[in-house]
Amino acid sequence: MSESGTSGSGRGNGPRRGGSGGQGGAGQAGRGRDGSQRNAQGRERNRGPQRGFTENAPSQRTRRADPARLVAFEVLRAVAAEDAYANLVLPARIRHHGLDKRDAGFATELSYGALRGQGTYDAILARCVDRPLDQLDPAILDALRIGAHQLLAMRVPAHAALDQTVGLARAVIGAGPSALINAVLRKVSAHTLEEWLDLLLSDETDETKKAAIRYAHPEWIVRALRQSLVAHGRPVSEISDLLEADNAAPVVNLVALPGLGSLDEALEGGATPGELVEGSALSSGGDLGRLASVREGTTRVQDVGSQLVARAMAAVALDTGVKVPGTEGSGVQETDGDSRPGQEREKPAERWLDMCAGPGGKAALLGALAREQGATLLANEPAPHRAKLVRQALAAVPHEVWHVRTGDGREVGTEMPESFDRVLVDAPCTGLGALRRRPESRWRRTPKDLTDLGPLQRELLKSALAAVKPGGVVAYVTCSPHPAETTAVVSDVLRNRDDLELLDAGAALDRVSLTGHLDAGHERTAQLWPHVHRTDAMFLALIRKKA
């Protein structure tokens, strides 16, 4: 453990309401660098004027960069300057600097929290800097964001947050800016996060602007998520819970590939059985590489929402032309014509297609399910490096079950018409339903992404509908709840087509869930939510081509 006050890390969250700023986490009592005592929640910090800063001038303070803070700073710099993804840069920087487990946790919390909370922190910093933030050197601004997150949302003693952030700036930006950083962070530390929010929001009447600052989301995303709640039949009053859920670090979910993997080792190691879908568990944290089944690839990290939609696609009834009266369109109650007693016929193996497979999370689960059901899977992905990841993901599934195609999904419908029994279109989307997973993405996305992706999403769905056999089912999935990429795509593509029927996706999800009542369905499509189901906001529509 470093001596730099990193022992007081909170959980991997963005800014939170509440004076202590921290919730959850180990919260052990400890002594800071200056010997000050912290209680179990680290609450000696955030006391405004009472806090005992060292009176040293910045030039007399720490001159070295604490490795955990340096990692966080490098992550923020790579995200801002190189358009990097934090979740890819962070592990590489942690390895490069050889951080131990605890410092790695601190660096994760600091970098993810500072990135998620950027909107709130920038609003606070703007009150503490004597010029517009965009006139600051971007590296200084990133150092200030790191300092603000420590001061306002982590259980780091204020003096350590200041001293170490100034030390970091001296080491990596230069001596000049350290006085500015010191002065600004002192101003930031004069209030708790809740006090800052009161100050910032006291004169604000616009509810969108208020939510944007309080929950650190761009205003357009606040509006988009409100619209999404309404479109999927949920009360708009849930918006605060949804925005707050985006700021919580997601628990790592595991899936044991059916028929191939086992969760025993994970459960013995402290994982908790998943409550929503069979074969899943909530990881107890730590290095998952310690689990042999994870190393083999038979147990994988996968959001429960992804597991549910993949299982629903694999389980939904195909239209074999034999109907049970009163169950038309349910997608779950029709009998399989081939399985009637006394009339058994050799059933040809089903062919499944995962049209947008990279990096292969759902393909691995579908491959395992296909093996169990005697089906085969074609996993398609146009980007060669992602197609390689799909092969790696599928490596644990016997090779005769699957094949990876590197190509454009829009061409599959014409190249392989009416060839597949089940098709998954996990369409490229804005990812507005997975903001908690990608801390920087909310600041990177723009409303234009929604309009740009629309034509591709429609073409992929049309291609899938051309590729599916009569009686077969297409699952259209996004990790976004926005109506422009969910319900609007489905209704546009289904318009004027009497050969297609929308199955009840909510019922199909219920059927593969452990609870049997997810309450995700609305007008025959289904939407999962981080604040309701603790999953990514996955959308599912199931479209069957009439036999």
Ligand X SMILES: C[S@@+](CC[C@H](N)C(=O)[O-])C[C@H]1O[C@@H](n2cnc3c(N)ncnc32)[C@H](O)[C@@H]1O
Among all residues, which ones are annotated catalytic?
479
Q: What is the enclosing helix (H) or strand (E) of 188?
A: helix 175-188
Q: Which of 84, 143, 277, 357 touches ligand X by CB under 6 A?
A: 357
Are 206 and 173 spatial neighbours (Cβ–Cβ below 8 Å)? no
Q: Which of 19, 233, 337, 382 touches ligand X by CB under 6 A?
A: 382
- Name which of 46 and 299 has its Cβ closer to ligand X: 299
Half-sphere exposure of 210 (CA within 13 A, CB side): 11
**Closest distance to ligand X from the beta carbon of 379 (Å):** 9
**Closest distance to ligand X from the beta carbon of 363 (Å):** 6
Residue 58 binds ligand X (CB under 6 A)? no
- Name which of 229 and 453 has its Cβ closer to ligand X: 453
Q: Which of 264, 408, 492, 519 touches ligand X by CB under 6 A?
A: 408
The angle subtended at Cα 8 by Cα 7 and Cα 12, nearest 5°, is 110
x/- contact string, 4-33, with ligand X (CB under 6 A)? ------------------------------
Residue 356 among known ligand-binding residues: yes
Q: Which of 233, 297, 337, 428 touches ligand X by CB under 6 A?
A: 428
Q: Which of 381, 449, 504, 536 touches ligand X by CB under 6 A?
A: 381
Residue 163 among known ligand-binding residues: no
Residues 62-91 touching ligand X, rule: CB under 6 A, are none
| End-to-end Cα separation, the chain, in angstroms | 64
- Binding segment for ligand X among 7-15, 130-138, 335-343, 356-364 (CB under 6 A)? 356-364
Residue 358 among known ligand-binding residues: yes
**Closest distance to ligand X from the beta carbon of 434 (Å):** 9
Residue 516 among known ligand-binding residues: no
Which residue in 436, 433, 439 sits closest to 116, CA to CA? 439
- Name which of 297 and 471 has its Cβ closer to ligand X: 297
Residue 421 binds ligand X (CB under 6 A)? no
Q: What is the CA radius of gyration of the chain?
A: 25
Half-sphere exposure of 231 (CA within 13 A, CB side): 21
Q: Which of 30, 279, 361, 367 touches ligand X by CB under 6 A?
A: 361
- Name which of 114 and 543 has its Cβ closer to ligand X: 543
Residue 410 binds ligand X (CB under 6 A)? yes
Are 289 and 91 spatial neighbours (Cβ–Cβ below 8 Å)? no
Which residue in 468, 358, 472, 465 sits closest to 404, CA to CA? 358
Computed from CA positions of residues 540, 395, 351, 358, in that sequence, does the dihedral angle turn out positive or negative? positive
Residue 359 binds ligand X (CB under 6 A)? yes
Residue 465 binds ligand X (CB under 6 A)? no
- Name which of 115 and 425 has its Cβ closer to ligand X: 425
The Cα 493–Cα 459 span in angstroms is 9
Residue 362 among known ligand-binding residues: yes
- Name which of 73 and 420 has its Cβ closer to ligand X: 420
Q: Which of 426, 449, 485, 536 touches ligand X by CB under 6 A?
A: 426
Residue 359 among known ligand-binding residues: yes
Q: What is the dihedral of CA 391, 394, 396, 398, to 10 degrees?
A: -100
Residue 361 among known ligand-binding residues: yes
Are 259 and 370 spatial neighbours (Cβ–Cβ below 8 Å)? no
Residues 271-310 touching ligand X, rule: CB under 6 A, are 306
Residue 367 among known ligand-binding residues: no
Token pair 């059916």 in the structure block, residue: 258
Q: What is the DSSP string of 354-412?
A: ESS-TT-HHHHHHHHHHHHTT-EEEEE-SSHHHHHHHHHHHTTS-GGGEEEE-S-GGGH
- Binding segment for ligand X among 263-271, 280-288, 312-320, 374-382 (CB under 6 A)? 374-382
Burial of 380 (C-beta count, 10 Å sphere; 0-12/13-18/19+) = buried
- Binding segment for ligand X among 180-188, 255-263, 278-286, 352-360 (CB under 6 A)? 352-360
| AA letter at 304 | V
> What is the side-by-side strand order in the sheet with 299-301?
272-273, 280-282, 253-256, 299-301
Residue 360 binds ligand X (CB under 6 A)? yes
Are 402 and 375 spatial neighbours (Cβ–Cβ below 8 Å)? no
Residue 367 binds ligand X (CB under 6 A)? no
Residue 210 among known ligand-binding residues: no
Binding region for ligand X (CB under 6 A): 306, 355-362, 380-383, 386, 408-410, 426, 428, 460
